[in-house]
Structure 1
Amino acid sequence: MIETNPKVETVRFKKFKWVDIVAPDQAVFAELKRKYKFHELDLEDCASENQRSKIDEYDKYLFIILHFPHFDKRKNAVVIEEIDVFMGHDYLITIHDGVLYPLMDVFERCRSSLKSRKKTMSNGTGFLLYEIVDTMLDHVFFLLDQVSKNIKTIELSVFGSGQEQKDMLRDILGLKKDIITFRRVMGPQRTVIAQLEHKNKRFLPENLDLYFDDLVDKVEKIWGNLESMKDLVISLQETNESIISHKTNDVIKVLTIFSATMLPLTVLTGFYGMNVDLPMGEHPVAYFLIIGGMAVISLTMLIFFKMKRWL
């Protein structure tokens, strides 16, 4: 049996039900409190933003706050999205903002397919929770694969032209921001997933230990990948900054040599530009002698710079 309304959808299978709530208002929270007797602090956590991942255990239900990364196309960046979960013996309630498509796809499959309901919901709410978290972690791996491809692209372009170097710095900083967001999500998540493995067996039977142990392994693998990516991006940034610094030094060196070459010429032209009588100032070939002297001085300085290997 399937029941729907604009903000709340419920899928039932045998004695179990999954209630999915998108962007709830105060009326929905009031109904949850009335029907399920949830603690008001838990409902306040659902209504507020920026809650840390956690798991609270009560006599009749578990309250879990989970966070997962999500790529926001409008911001072109990875953002953090929250899922609030209430899990009892015969029900599981998920509350979210409706942007985590993997979660919504799982619910849609259960809603539209009896086969999916049998696969996902026939082993109780604990297994349903496992399926949801497992799907979301698979999505995290997918996002990390995209980040990894971006890192490889930057690796191949690290010795590009000047403009590419500037663009690359922007891309590297964007990657660093995304990896920081991933780490902010997955750091507290490691603790919560590990706690799920050892929680009260009334809600998570022992036959699910192997499944939740698999979730712990996935989270640790994600964390290990993030550590490697963080180190690699830092190395890429340092390499890119070294290349930019080297190219800047080359430009400064050329400008310095140019200035040093022009300095004696400037002195000479300034000397003969004074409005006083100067040696050979009236000589008919004075102009050519001065030009020739300037050329000799410039050539001598360039030969000196070349001998010093400054050029």
Structure 2
Amino acid sequence: MKIRLVNEGVFEPIDDIQTALSAPKAGFYWIDADVDDLTELQPLFSLHDLAVEDCLSDEEQRPKIEIYENHYFIVVNSIRFDDEEIFLRALNIFLGRHFIITVTNQKINEIRSLKPMLWEQEVSGPDRFLYLLVDLVVDNYFTVGDRIEAKIEKLEEDILMHTKKSHLSEIIGLRSEILWLKKVLGPQKEVINTLNKKDLRLIDDQLQKYFSDIYENAVKISETFETYRDLMSNLREAYQSSIANRANEIMRVFTAMTTIFMPLTIITGIYGMNFDDMPELHWKYGYISIIGLMISLGIGMFFVFRKKDWI
């Protein structure tokens, strides 16, 4: 657990947690905590039992905002994409009048990226801290969306050039991830809308209007992932069409080969009969002539089929 006094973007480490219980002369306290630290923090800051229980739960938390007497409890999901799977990490936030507590199970990049922004914008209020953090979380969805779009385009190119059976599992897996993420974006969008519209006494009225920009971005993200879902459906159709075309191509080649060998089979069948009176059987050049006829016939049919683009 790290405790910092933040005033005009400048960080001052605090060693004694008791210091953060009362409001500072200027600035606010930022407590960056792990889930295990909540046992100590709950009685000191009067954190609501239900909010702490949600943080300690192993179950996946939906984005939400809970309004309690002396603090707000906000859950938003940070996103990460490693080219194989999409990961959502819950970011639990307790917002008070003079403090903000961030609680995570894993390291979240947005918190690391936030530190220089606090200094650049000379942040001195926990509500401003909340705004910048939520803004970073939402913006990161655009970054992940761009990577997903690039993966879809590459997958489409691979399917059109060299279709493989493994492509189907990639399509199904990525589409499932996008559908799952689409369900999560709905509640998160509503949380941001609440921060934008509801009368919240712990958030400055002027600052609250800025949440409308974040909400618009959240709506764009939701629409973008809806588009990705449609693209994955189109990609699956393209895969099935490519497989069908390849099967048709193979069948066309086999059919052409069968057609070429059919007259050759007839010739060998005729001369394979056990009749004594067949003039060509005793001809000196009969064998060579028949072989030459069969080769000429096969080559001739091959070029005729190539000219008609049958093979």
Count of residue pairs brought into register by the alignment: 292
Over the aligned positions, Cα root-mean-square deviation in angstroms equals 3.7
CA offsets, 1:60-100, max 9 Å, x none? 2222221121134xx74331111011122222111113432
- Sequence identity (%): 29
- Shift of the 302–76 alpha-carbon distance from structure 1 to 2, 3 Å rule, reads closer
Give the match for residue 128 of structure 1: 129
Give the match for residue 46 of structure 2: 37
Give the match for residue 66 of structure 2: 56
1:1-311 alignment to 2 at 5 Å? 1-3=12-14, 14=26, 16-22=28-34, 24-25=35-36, 28-47=37-56, 48-72=58-82, 76-107=84-115, 110=118, 115-116=119-120, 119-120=122-123, 122=124, 124-151=125-152, 157=157, 161-162=161-162, 165-166=163-164, 169=167, 173=171, 176=175, 179-180=178-179, 182-270=181-269, 272-273=271-272, 277=276, 279-280=278-279, 281-295=281-295, 298=298, 302=302, 310-311=310-311
**Structure 1 residue 196 displacement after superposition:** 2.1
- Shift of the 106–309 alpha-carbon distance from structure 1 to 2, 3 Å rule, reads closer
**Structure 1 residue 268 displacement after superposition:** 4.0
How high is the TM-score relative to the length of structure 2?
Answer: 0.76
CA distance in 2, matches of 1:87, 1:235: 44
CA distance in 1, matches of 2:73, 2:33: 15
CA distance in 2, matches of 1:3, 1:241: 61
Cα contact 1:261–1:302 (8 A) shared by 2 = yes
Cα contact 1:261–1:301 (8 A) shared by 2 = yes
CA distance in 2, matches of 1:100, 1:4: 23
CA distance in 1, matches of 2:198, 2:139: 23
- Shift of the 101–307 alpha-carbon distance from structure 1 to 2, 3 Å rule, reads closer
- Shift of the 307–161 alpha-carbon distance from structure 1 to 2, 3 Å rule, reads closer
Match for 1:46: what amino acid?
C
- Shift of the 275–59 alpha-carbon distance from structure 1 to 2, 3 Å rule, reads farther
**Structure 1 residue 46 displacement after superposition:** 1.0
CA distance in 2, matches of 1:297, 1:305: 12
Query: Secondary structure of 2:127's partner?
Result: helix
Match for 2:64: what amino acid?
K
- Shift of the 300–96 alpha-carbon distance from structure 1 to 2, 3 Å rule, reads same
- Shift of the 40–264 alpha-carbon distance from structure 1 to 2, 3 Å rule, reads farther
**Structure 1 residue 239 displacement after superposition:** 3.6
- Shift of the 54–274 alpha-carbon distance from structure 1 to 2, 3 Å rule, reads farther
Query: Secondary structure of 1:84's partner?
Result: strand
- Shift of the 20–237 alpha-carbon distance from structure 1 to 2, 3 Å rule, reads same
CA distance in 2, matches of 1:13, 1:225: 45
Q: Which runs of 5+ in 2 are unaligned?
A: 1-11
How high is the TM-score relative to the length of structure 1?
Answer: 0.76
Cα contact 2:77–2:137 (8 A) shared by 1 = no
Cα contact 1:98–1:104 (8 A) shared by 2 = no
Cα contact 2:160–2:242 (8 A) shared by 1 = no
CA distance in 1, matches of 2:177, 2:243: 23
- Shift of the 68–277 alpha-carbon distance from structure 1 to 2, 3 Å rule, reads farther
Cα contact 1:172–1:233 (8 A) shared by 2 = no
Cα contact 1:33–1:39 (8 A) shared by 2 = yes
CA distance in 1, matches of 2:91, 2:200: 22
**Structure 1 residue 145 displacement after superposition:** 2.8
